[in-house]
Structure 1
Amino acid sequence: MSVLIIDVGTSSIRVARAAPDGSLSGERRVPALPITPVPGLVEFDAEELGRSALRLATESIEADGAPDGVAITNQRASTVVWDPSTGRPVAPGQGWQDLRTVGDCLVLAAEGLRLAPNHSATKMANLLNEFDLDRSRGLLCGTIDTFLAWILSGGATFVTDASNASMTGLTTTAADAWNSAVIDKLNIPLASLPTIGDSLGHLGSLDRLAGAPPLLAVLGDQQASMIGQGAVVPDAAKATFGTGAMLDVCTPGDRPTEPRTAAGCFPIAGWSVGGTRTWALEAIMLSAGTNVEWLRDDLELFGDAADSDALAASVDDADGVVFVPAPLGLGTPHWDYGARSGLFGLTRGTTKAHVTRAVLEGVAQRGAELLAAAEADSGADIDALRIDGGMSLNATFVQALANAITRPVEVSPVLEATARGGGLAAGVALGWFDSVPALAELWQPAEVVEPTGEFNGERWAEAVRRVGHWHPDLSAIEF
């Protein structure tokens, strides 16, 4: 028995097989790097993404046999518009980081419609306005999960799930239907949008794959990571430290009505089973691993991102140096798009090791801010933080995170828990497990890192204050 998982990240697409014990095997991966034609624009080749998914899935089936079902996990809010008569996208897809519609969002905000440029909503409208101004072509719109399901089914399956739909900006508060007021305002035809279904169950068949396996799970990447790390019950939280960082905590019950909660978190649909949605709160760091890439690529302090660990560990502490990571502004809890990174406390004796350690510790202290915000907004009592993502391999960072949050950090047994979560969700649909909450019992961290020290909270708060409102016009933007 196995599930075939198709996992689309920001930089690659991979397939793997999940077994009933939650283990993964047979991974195949190809790069799928975003394209940045000009600053602020982030595009991707959706047609090539579809071809790669079909090829990798076919190779997996030829090598390992027909799966019991398929799961799709994906970067959220990235948007494709395509012609159903040809199956081809009308233009490059717009990635979730793409900012070309920020002006549209500001105009809509002045009219009382609150949308962010990282939502799918204005991306869809932008593509439709450019390629089907009078809406006569019958173009289809969707996030990556929808596009791949459509491609792999030969056009027979046109669906999304609550975890992805809730990130589009186009749904009702309950994320169970499209919001007619919003789609009418943006002139997005209802027929152009997929059906919002459950996150797991029999969601359709993928007829272009051998044996036409059923599509059993569709999940946004962070929600899949929650499932993969067992953060599926109250008081359990996970954080993924990649290019940016997302911290998510399960919050069963009704969805909060606020678009953004008091401490700067966002309510999101975690997953939907049998029409019942489980909600979560998400705290966001706009830049995490990007700061290590800056040290590597721009300052050239080391040759490989992994080298940052040994370099930072070569000194006992940062010698009073403090770094606030904000190259794109500050997310939760501050939400200051005009903030910019700051490096404080430099002396003649400061070395590249001190600076590298300060950068890792700065990301860790921002992680502590995310956790504090999530606890404040959810009322959860989180006794340990589960982490995955590229930075979870950095021992200096993980120790700094444990020190910053003053509680244990539990490191995921797989670097990227997204695919594992998709496989486990499909396993629930197959009856391998009783329910999504039952998956909490499968969590076994690869390592538990206990705090061994603490940071100067007053110095950190002062550094954050100083980097704020560096560009007042950007700081005034609210989404």
Structure 2
Amino acid sequence: MKRYFIGIDQGTTGSTALLIDEKWDVVAAKNVEHMQIYPKPGWVEHDPVEIWNAIQTAVAAVLREAGAEPEQIVSIGIDNQGETCMVWDKKTGAPVYNALVWQDRRTAGYADELNGTYGSMITEKTGLGPDAYFSATKIRWILDHVDGVRERAEKGELMAGTLDSYLIWRFTGGEAFITDTSTASRTMMMDLKKGQWDQELLDIYNIPRSILPEITNSSQVYGYTTPETFFGARVPVAACITDALAAMLAQGCLDKGDIKTTYGTGCFMYINLGDTVRYSQNGLITVSSWQVDNKINYAFDGGVYIAGAAIQWLRDKLRVIWNSAETETIAASVPDTGGLYFVPAFSGLAAPHWDQYARGMMIGITGGTTREHIVRATLESIAFQVYDNAQVMKQDSGYGFSVMKADGGPVVNRFLMQFQADILDAAVDVPVVTEMTAYGAAFLAALAVGEFNSIQDVRGCWKLGSRYEPKMGRMEREFCLEQWHRAVERCKNWEIPNRRWENER
């Protein structure tokens, strides 16, 4: 009987299931989108029940496509969005409120207060600078603003965590309530060196330790699916990791100085730091990339809030495209953007700027600006943001690079990947399997159940799909970057600080 492995990528705009055979080839994949909820400007939410149902639909679809039975699945690995978090009922599993998405800015004022009073201490302990991006401020908001929730939490009736904790808890019928160091390191609550929740920080945020999951390895059998949660089969759930870090592992970036970028709703660039905690002086954050056999690996993280989400915005809000696939042809149909630059700071700017109050801007619009120019400027904005992070990565890590590995849905866009290589002045390698997040989660789960001997074995699963070499001249590159940076400076500090937070108290 054939044996299969499942990797589940629970992403910001949808959930993807990958079905992988014993040769580690992907035999079926299915993505199911879920709704983006925007109750107020700057607020972003997800319905966790909708996400759970989307995952069930995606898994059922890949099993059906391959003609596989649930009993043929060896292991399940799950990766997740990272900072997106929620609070739910310990008995029923019902969320007390929607999940607050990593892009959500409602707690920006509170993050500013934390930064003013405890900023250096929080960074020293967690590797993060206080920001609404991270989970702690979001969990605090739910506890303080949803009627009766804090009282219920103190009575021991509720659980809180990032979406990996919720999904694994559901898959195992409540048997496992865990998260791994890669995800916990994005909450602003974990001591980065110890790999455990920091009580001093929890006291500052007024978050009870009792509602949080156990922090453990990224590769470990946490529990087993129940007949109700996995089509009648009992399958080990054995990997838990943040999405872009799962991709880092799947790309074989296991040595110090290895660098990769995952392109998705946002963009996330990482450079491997090995087993040593280091701090950036220029806007990067330090995270745990994974923990295997109780050994924590670290990385610098350069996050871009809006990448593929900008393309989705063109489709769903402006309605200038029908689907993301056509952007490649549209962008290539004009020689340049006609002087148009687009800074997609819909939720502020992440690394290396960390401006919570920046907002999106198009500049250089003239009477000759066309749909084609807007589409091309949108794709170019993704590459520019990755470039900014790459320069800081080089400076703060001391590692140079001639090749950057890339993965995620948008890397199928050849225009984007070529422009990325041009702006970086470095080669960009895209693997055969572009959805490396779910692939990495599947590998870690297989490692946990004994299918592999070592984390190093992941290198044998990686296959090169395409390499993009830089072709742009130096003067053109420098001019494009100068104009981009002028545009970035003009979009900063647009939102008025604190006003919304004060109104919500």
Please indicate, yes or no, whether the TM-score normalized by the shorter chain is above 0.5.
yes
Change (3 A) 1:327 1:211: closer
Q: Residue type of the partner of 1:118?
A: Y
SS of residue matched to 2:110:
helix
Change (3 A) 1:303 1:235: same
Q: Residue type of the partner of 2:79?
A: T
CA contact (8 A) 1:267 1:279 kept: yes
CA contact (8 A) 1:230 1:443 kept: yes
CA distance in 2, matches of 1:199, 1:52: 23
CA distance in 1, matches of 2:330, 2:429: 23
1:55-204 mapped onto 2 (5 Å cutoff): 57=59, 60=63, 63-66=68-71, 67-112=73-118, 114=122, 115-129=130-144, 130=146, 131-134=148-151, 135-174=154-193, 176-204=195-223
Kindly state the Cα deviation for residue 456 of structure 1 after the two structures are TM-superposed. 3.5
- Per-residue CA shift, 1:252-276, capped at 9, x if unaligned? 02112x4xx1232111111101110
Kindly state the Cα deviation for residue 292 of structure 1 after the two structures are TM-superposed. 3.4
**Which deviates the most, 363-372 or 300-309?**
300-309
Q: Give the one of 272, 276, 285 matched to 2:295.
A: 276
User: Hey, what does 1:217 align to over in structure 2?
Assistant: 239
1:328-477 mapped onto 2 (5 Å cutoff): 328-341=347-360, 343=362, 351-454=370-473, 455-458=476-479, 460-468=481-489, 470=491, 472=493, 474=495
- Per-residue CA shift, 1:338-370, capped at 9, x if unaligned? 445555556665544344334433332222222
Change (3 A) 1:347 1:12: closer
Q: What is the aligned-residue RMSD (CA, Å)?
A: 2.8
Q: Residue type of the partner of 1:109?
A: N
CA contact (8 A) 2:103 2:305 kept: no
- Per-residue CA shift, 1:256-304, capped at 9, x if unaligned? 2x4xx12321111111011101111111222223443454555554433
User: Hey, what does 1:287 align to over in structure 2?
Assistant: 306
Q: Residue type of the partner of 1:41?
A: W
**Which deviates the most, 400-409 or 30-39?**
30-39
User: Hey, what does 2:252 align to over in structure 1?
Assistant: 230
Q: Residue type of the partner of 2:482?
A: A
- Per-residue CA shift, 1:391-417, capped at 9, x if unaligned? 212221111111111121112323321
CA contact (8 A) 2:221 2:449 kept: no
Kindly state the Cα deviation for residue 323 of structure 1 after the two structures are TM-superposed. 4.4
CA distance in 2, matches of 1:54, 1:355: 37
User: Hey, what does 1:241 align to over in structure 2?
Assistant: 263
**Which deviates the most, 443-452 or 429-438?**
429-438
CA contact (8 A) 1:159 1:196 kept: yes
Q: Residue type of the partner of 2:105?
A: L
SS of residue matched to 1:157:
coil
SS of residue matched to 1:17:
strand
Change (3 A) 1:119 1:318: closer
Unaligned runs of 5+ in 1: none
- Per-residue CA shift, 1:441-472, capped at 9, x if unaligned? 43222111111113332552254135415454
Q: Give the one of 219, 226, 250 matched to 2:272.
A: 250
Number of residue-to-residue matches in the alignment? 474
Unaligned runs of 5+ in 2: 123-129, 499-505
Kindly state the Cα deviation for residue 224 of structure 1 after the two structures are TM-superposed. 0.9
Kindly state the Cα deviation for residue 157 of structure 1 after the two structures are TM-superposed. 0.9
Q: Residue type of the partner of 1:133?
A: R
User: Hey, what does 2:125 align to over in structure 1?
Assistant: none
SS of residue matched to 2:222:
coil
CA distance in 2, matches of 1:390, 1:52: 18
Kindly state the Cα deviation for residue 168 of structure 1 after the two structures are TM-superposed. 0.9
Change (3 A) 1:198 1:51: same
**Which deviates the most, 274-283 or 458-467?**
458-467
Q: Percent identity?
A: 30
CA distance in 1, matches of 2:306, 2:111: 22
Kindly state the Cα deviation for residue 121 of structure 1 after the two structures are TM-superposed. 1.0
Kindly state the Cα deviation for residue 474 of structure 1 after the two structures are TM-superposed. 5.0
Change (3 A) 1:476 1:26: same
SS of residue matched to 2:286:
strand
Kindly state the Cα deviation for residue 112 of structure 1 after the two structures are TM-superposed. 1.5
SS of residue matched to 1:364:
helix
Change (3 A) 1:34 1:358: closer
SS of residue matched to 2:246:
helix
CA distance in 2, matches of 1:451, 1:463: 19
**Which deviates the most, 282-291 or 331-340?**
331-340
SS of residue matched to 2:224:
coil
Q: Residue type of the partner of 2:269?
A: L
Kindly state the Cα deviation for residue 40 of structure 1 after the two structures are TM-superposed. 2.0
Q: Residue type of the partner of 1:31?
A: E
CA distance in 2, matches of 1:442, 1:124: 38
Change (3 A) 1:356 1:450: same
Q: Residue type of the partner of 1:397?
A: L
CA contact (8 A) 2:37 2:44 kept: yes
User: Hey, what does 1:33 align to over in structure 2?
Assistant: 35
Q: Residue type of the partner of 1:457?
A: E
Kindly state the Cα deviation for residue 246 of structure 1 after the two structures are TM-superposed. 1.0
